[in-house]
Structure 1
């Protein structure tokens, strides 16, 4: 089945493939958000475990799917080989740092807001928080498909599809993490779902933009891969991990992180 999927993606334009792959990751966010039609509350222990799983997937994907290929395709030897990756990594972290300081958003526990002061409602701020998470995820998938379009040997359709599958899996709890708190706040099931799935709309947008950027300017690929990796790691350390520590479920969250890391590592090694 996986080989059939690879064969299909190889038969279409990598740009179109990036769009389809990120629509898939968006779809799994919507699937998670759809749980709001059946449940009003989510057990906090379970939510922290799923968020930990999300963090594990993102960290594993950052190395195996992004940083390792970026280092491999960098030219030069010795210290010069890691310069593009280091520069791209720093740029990715600073990009998320800037967004974090400028974009108003609210953490899942509703106790801490960040970014510039705004009169926006808490529903909007919470949705923006998860949207912030999804920007580097869409970008990561897009730049890998862009590398395929540019003919870079280290960038493969199998690797890009594997990354999309991993990100899609971890998007499922993210959809729940947005929709459920909104439902508890008193929003209707429909509105809670719409906010939840809408948080991932940036993934197809940044997926296509990332693929196009790399296609038209191939030398930026190592930088772009490292950029996406840093942005994902920044989100995990600054947002996801602290969120799992708020309710005393640190052990469950840590075990979820380990499970997510192993799942993504296995997917990348076995399929990518």
Structure 2
């Protein structure tokens, strides 16, 4: 693993986010085996994804941001608070602009700029929206290696990529299988499902590049990614996972997701 420290952080970020995208595609491939997905299972999967993102926001992003700010002689809480709120505001802006539709809702409940796009496109864009901060988070985590090629930072970035990838698998299935139920062919549903994750490598490379270009930006960038992820969790994942009567399953899924990401980050980072 020490040899990885010799590679360009941007290339590492690209490799890591290609891995997370691959797991999205692997999850989307479940549409070739199943035509429908049980609502209880879907809610549990969405809850798990929410738990992973909440844990990653603190253990992999906010906590390191506070520690880095303190090491740089800055007020420890300042980059964390400013970056966190900026990340949420950025996602709020995209949420208001990008046309998208949450799962289980009729097309008249579509958000963003009014459009005549098909329902399937709007459903995919809803998932694509919260893959942006996930890719950005992984990219920023690997970009931190440029200024401090430490094994702890590397393993922490790897843990984050593993956690994001882990929750991308059920997320990919949660996109493609409902699309199949909407009437799309299996191949088209798979393509739409895996395309929802292709923004992660793009956001990952951008995040790593920005950190490499502007070194003092790192604590703010980590906090920005955390704020964007928490916005997605509260705005989309938790409400969607709580639809129906079996809310305990989505809550248990969230607890397991948090515990899994915390274990990965503490054990590896």
Q: Please point out which of 108, 129, 133 is paired with 2:126.
A: 129
Tell me if the contact between 2:2 and 2:151 (Cα under 8 Å) persists in the aligned partners: no
Give the 3-state SS of the residue equivalent to 2:243 in structure 1. coil
Q: Please point out which of 40, 48, 51 is paired with 1:45.
A: 40
For residue 116 of structure 1, report the CA deviation from its aligned partner.
1.2
Number of aligned positions between the proteins: 267
For residue 83 of structure 1, report the CA deviation from its aligned partner.
0.9
Q: Summarize the Cα distance change of 1:154–1:101 in structure 2 as closer, same or farther, 3 Å threshold.
A: farther
Tell me if the contact between 2:65 and 2:219 (Cα under 8 Å) persists in the aligned partners: yes
| CA–CA separation in structure 2 for the residues paired with 1:171 and 1:229 | 17
Tell me if the contact between 2:47 and 2:254 (Cα under 8 Å) persists in the aligned partners: yes
Tell me if the contact between 1:148 and 1:155 (Cα under 8 Å) persists in the aligned partners: no
Q: Which residue does the alignment assign to 2:14?
A: 19
Q: Summarize the Cα distance change of 1:72–1:61 in structure 2 as closer, same or farther, 3 Å threshold.
A: same
Give the 3-state SS of the residue equivalent to 1:42 in structure 2. coil
TM-score under structure 2 length normalisation? 0.95
Alignment of 1:37-116 (within 5 A): 37-75=32-70, 80-111=75-106, 112-116=109-113
Q: Please point out which of 149, 156, 161 is paired with 2:158.
A: 161
TM-score under structure 1 length normalisation? 0.94
Q: Which residue does the alignment assign to 1:193?
A: 190
Find runs of 4+ consecutive structure 1 residues off by over 3 angstroms.
75-79, 152-155
Mind listing any 5+ residue stretches in structure 2 that lack a counterpart?
A: none
Q: Which residue does the alignment assign to 1:230?
A: 227
Give the 3-state SS of the residue equivalent to 2:104 in structure 1. coil
| CA–CA separation in structure 2 for the residues paired with 1:258 and 1:249 | 15
For residue 177 of structure 1, report the CA deviation from its aligned partner.
1.1
For residue 10 of structure 1, report the CA deviation from its aligned partner.
2.2
| CA–CA separation in structure 2 for the residues paired with 1:127 and 1:77 | 41
Mind listing any 5+ residue stretches in structure 1 that lack a counterpart?
A: 1-5
For residue 77 of structure 1, report the CA deviation from its aligned partner.
10
| CA–CA separation in structure 1 for the residues paired with 2:156 and 2:77 | 21
**Residue 27 (structure 2) pairs with residue 32 (structure 1):** yes
| CA–CA separation in structure 1 for the residues paired with 2:134 and 2:123 | 18
What's the Cα RMSD here?
1.7
